[in-house]
Homo-oligomer: A and B are copies of this chain.
Amino acid sequence: MAQTRTSVKYDTESMEQVFRYVGENKDRFVENLAMLVRQPSVAAKHEGIEECAGIVHDMLSRTINADAKVLKLEGASPLVTAEIKSKSNPGKTVTLYNHYDVQPAEPLDLWDSPPWEPVIRDGKLYGRGAADDKAELVGRLALTESFLKTRDDVPCNFRFVFEGEEEIGSINLHKYKKEDPELFRGDGVVWEFGSVDARERPVVTLGVKGILYVELTSTNANRDAHSSLAAVVENPAWRLVHALDTLKQGERILIPGWYEDVRKFTPSELQLLREQESEEGELKKELGIKGFIGGMTGLELKKALAGKPTCTICGMISGYTGPGSKTVLPKEASAKIDFRLVPDQKPAKLEKLLRSHLNKKGYRDVLVTYSEGEPASRTSHQDPIAQAAIRAAQSVHEKKPVVQVSSAGTGPMFLFDAPCVAIGGGYPSSRAHSPNENARLDLFVKGMKWVAETIDRFALS
């Protein structure tokens, strides 16, 4: 900490040279992004994953001459890794964590241009995965190249960990860690996402929520039957609705013990939350909603986003869902449920609580299929990597950054044995996970510079 504070005489001139290189090569970096977006890589469907890992591997070789490795565990997406050793500062290592897999592109009919055919409109590159996380991944290769080309060195050792299952909960990343724990060590981690807020202020995020993702399924007959039989034959859609209804009342999750391990905000976290300006107006406009749950606002809203455990129906299906009316008694009904977790909730324990709750409520027949589970993670804003990100934000964006205690989102931060900071080139309307996902190209460049200066400052700390 003291070390960071003393590095006041930071060499901005050398950084400017790196930035100039970034600017001069921008078009080529955008081409690399488009190339990566063009390759579908949907982990949920095992679609194009190997191909995308290959492209990332080749890009590491081609752009920064890295001796990249494509690690492959049975049944898992490949992990693409590489290391660039620093000549001047070999004692410190920063890890750059990104993912090359993306969300499914559905619903396809809501896209204005095909999700796998990147196009630039109004300074934004559109396509599935453009923002989450391909712009970040390409940006980090680009900033590394910019260091190497201007300094013939990197500020400290760079370690790239590019995974292919982030969007399905990084289900195998712990296995790669078991194989090679060294990959997950280091002095600091720059996380895969980051953005400006709706007022163009850079956001430094210090943590992520955890997740427990399950599917609840109820079944009965061996086929969809005529709905006239509903007078005597149990309807799994009703079973599911009644079972779901027992999980939540208002915003309270009704599963006994669910809140037992929830860690309270520390005074300094609360202070950060208070300082963080609210973006309520922007979010409402963005989503076209009149207000938030229960009229929530201000600190309460910020606390909910950073620290409220949630239980969300992400998807639900049963019977006939086409146009018009079909009188059918469904054979099956299912719902995908995403529970977001906060420190120190434990996914495995919560899964057991859920099962036991359903049993006690009489829904022993409702199947719970585990899909993913990750605990939450948080870094202190006083860590050197956090301080470097805060200072670099001020310098690159020329604005006081927003420091966020935790993202409302999730990621496998907990697997990395080092302080972690999430920064990057995103913005609130990037429509990650939605149709018309896009990356703003001005921020693609600015994000690169921000991460570059963060690492440069961190290397000196």
Nearest-Cβ distance from residue A295 to partner chain B, whole angstroms? 11
Query: Is B340 a contact partner of A287 (Cβ separation < 8 A)?
Result: no
Nearest-Cβ distance from residue A105 to partner chain B, whole angstroms? 10
Query: Is B325 a contact partner of A44 (Cβ separation < 8 A)?
Result: yes
**A 281-311 contacts with B by CB, 8 A:** 283, 287-289, 292-293, 296, 301, 304-305, 308, 310
Query: Is B433 a contact partner of A340 (Cβ separation < 8 A)?
Result: no
Query: Is B408 a contact partner of A233 (Cβ separation < 8 A)?
Result: no
Query: Is B327 a contact partner of A410 (Cβ separation < 8 A)?
Result: yes
Q: Known: A228-B409, A320-B336, A322-B44. Is A223-B434 also a contact (CB below 8 A)?
A: yes
CA distance A408 to B320 in the complex (A): 20
Nearest-Cβ distance from residue A237 to partner chain B, whole angstroms? 4
The residues of B that contact A326 with a CB separation of less than 8 Å are: 44, 103-104, 167, 314-315, 336, 433
Query: Is A320 a contact partner of B314 (Cβ separation < 8 A)?
Result: yes
Q: Known: A313-B330, A315-B318. Is A434-B245 also a contact (CB below 8 A)?
A: no
Nearest-Cβ distance from residue A209 to partner chain B, whole angstroms? 7
Q: How large is the interface on A (under 10, 10 to 19, 20 to 34, 35 or more residues)?
A: 35 or more
Q: Is A224 located at the chain interface by the 8 A CB criterion?
A: yes
Contact of A321 among B296, B317, B324, B329 (CB under 8 A): B317
* Interface 0/1 of A239-283, CB less than 8 Å to B: 001101100100000000000000000000000000000000001
Contact of A310 among B231, B318, B372 (CB under 8 A): B231
CA distance A408 to B292 in the complex (A): 45
CA distance A409 to B329 in the complex (A): 12
Nearest-Cβ distance from residue A43 to partner chain B, whole angstroms? 7
Nearest-Cβ distance from residue A259 to partner chain B, whole angstroms? 14
The residues of B that contact A322 with a CB separation of less than 8 Å are: 44-45, 104, 106, 315
Name the prevailing secondary structure of the A interface residues. mixed
Q: Is A220 located at the chain interface by the 8 A CB criterion?
A: yes
Contact of A324 among B168, B304, B409 (CB under 8 A): B168
The residues of B that contact A233 with a CB separation of less than 8 Å are: 283, 287, 289, 292-293
The residues of B that contact A226 with a CB separation of less than 8 Å are: 409, 432-434
Query: Is B327 a contact partner of A213 (Cβ separation < 8 A)?
Result: yes
Nearest-Cβ distance from residue A358 to partner chain B, whole angstroms? 15
Contact of A323 among B45, B230, B329 (CB under 8 A): B45
8 extra interface residue pairs, beta carbon distance < 8 Å, beyond A226-B433, A319-B336: A44-B326, A220-B289, A224-B435, A232-B304, A235-B312, A241-B313, A242-B245, A321-B336
Instruction: Name A residues whose Cβ lies closer than 8 Å to a Cβ of B.
Output: 43-45, 103-104, 106-107, 110, 167-169, 209, 211, 213, 215, 220-235, 237-238, 241-242, 244-245, 248, 283, 287-289, 292-293, 296, 301, 304-305, 308, 310, 312-330, 333, 335-336, 338, 340, 371-372, 407-410, 431-435
The 5 closest A-B pairs by CB, nearest first: A44-B324, A222-B288, A228-B408, A237-B313, A315-B319
